Amino acid sequence: MLPHHGRFPYSPWTSRARETWPGGRKLAVYLGVNLEHFAFGEGLGAELAPAGPQPDVLNYAWREYGNRVGGFRLVQLLNELNLPATVLLNSAMYAHAPELVAAHRARGDEMAGHGRTNSERQSTLPEAEEARLIAESTAEILQHEGKAPRGWLSPWIAESRVTPDLLAEAGYTYSLNWCMDDQPVWKQTRAGRLLSIPYPQEANDIPAIAARKDGAQQFADLIIEDFTERLRQTEDGIPQVMGIALHPYIIGQPYRMRALRRALGVIAAQRDAIWITTAGGIYDHCMTWPEGTIV
């Protein structure tokens, strides 16, 4: 037998229950907006160009554009189309760019944990240090928002072997780290169940634009084609989740924002046929389904 994570069993798509989202809808769509802060001259960081010696001013400044400009443009677009969002929040953003966090708070967007900073990767830490990272990030969000986050996306989507256990022990109810399904899946932890909600690695501007080098229009087309095909597939009665992952330093560039407006406009125009929600909203509705519906 091959080594196994032991968190959830295999389940074929064709065996799933035919439950529905609110209003009898079969497709849930949510936007995951990543607000991230990076250390200057050290630590991890996404790269626009091959990294040079530190301080890597080019790549640092490119990322910082999202916090100064692109993030506010994205908020304007979400307001224009009346779309909610789940904010995946580095807690360092409260000190670095509080105005951007406040702009999402004013919209009523959900705040989910995303570590302290994307300059570090929690999977490399000893268990006690990883638990402290989760606790510190959670405490910052609780202090500023008045309530603790319920969902978590690890920086760099990096997990140690005990990350799900630590999240459940810290009071988290769902995680976005695993991209193995189009429905929520229960993960077993030493502190009980943790719901895994699908987070995209296709309709995601980092792998699409930064890694595969897709253009702005190609990324917009990807979102539209993914959405259109999913809506067609739900005719089989199996409910789906479609996430769209956005990073303001990438998607907040004007020409990409124009293309994104086209794509999100297609989705918004179908709001009577689908459920546009947040990751937390998906968790809440899943709790109304009969026990055993989620595998």
Q: Is residue 178 part of a domain?
A: yes
In this structure, the strands spanning 185-189 and 192-196 are: antiparallel
Are 30 and 198 within 8 A, CB to CB?
no
CA 188 to chain centre: 21
Q: Is residue 273 part of a domain?
A: yes
Q: Per the structure, how many domains does the chain have? A: 1
How far apart, in whole angstroms, are the C-alpha atoms of residue 122 and residue 155? 7
Q: Is residue 104 part of a domain?
A: yes
Q: Any idea what the CATH number is for the domain that residue 106 is in?
A: 3.20.20.370
**Tokens of residue 225, six digits:** 């084609």
How far apart, in whole angstroms, are the C-alpha atoms of residue 109 and residue 6? 33
Write the pLDDT tens digit of every residue in 156-165.
Answer: 999 999 999 9
pLDDT digits (tens), the chain, 295 positions: 899 999 999 999 999 999 999 999 999 999 999 999 999 999 999 888 888 899 999 999 999 999 999 999 999 999 999 999 999 999 999 999 999 999 999 999 999 999 999 999 999 999 999 999 999 999 999 999 999 999 999 999 999 999 999 999 999 999 999 999 999 999 999 999 999 999 999 999 999 999 999 999 999 999 999 999 999 999 999 999 999 999 999 999 999 999 999 999 999 999 999 999 999 999 999 999 999 999 8
Domain coverage including residue 279: 13-41+51-286
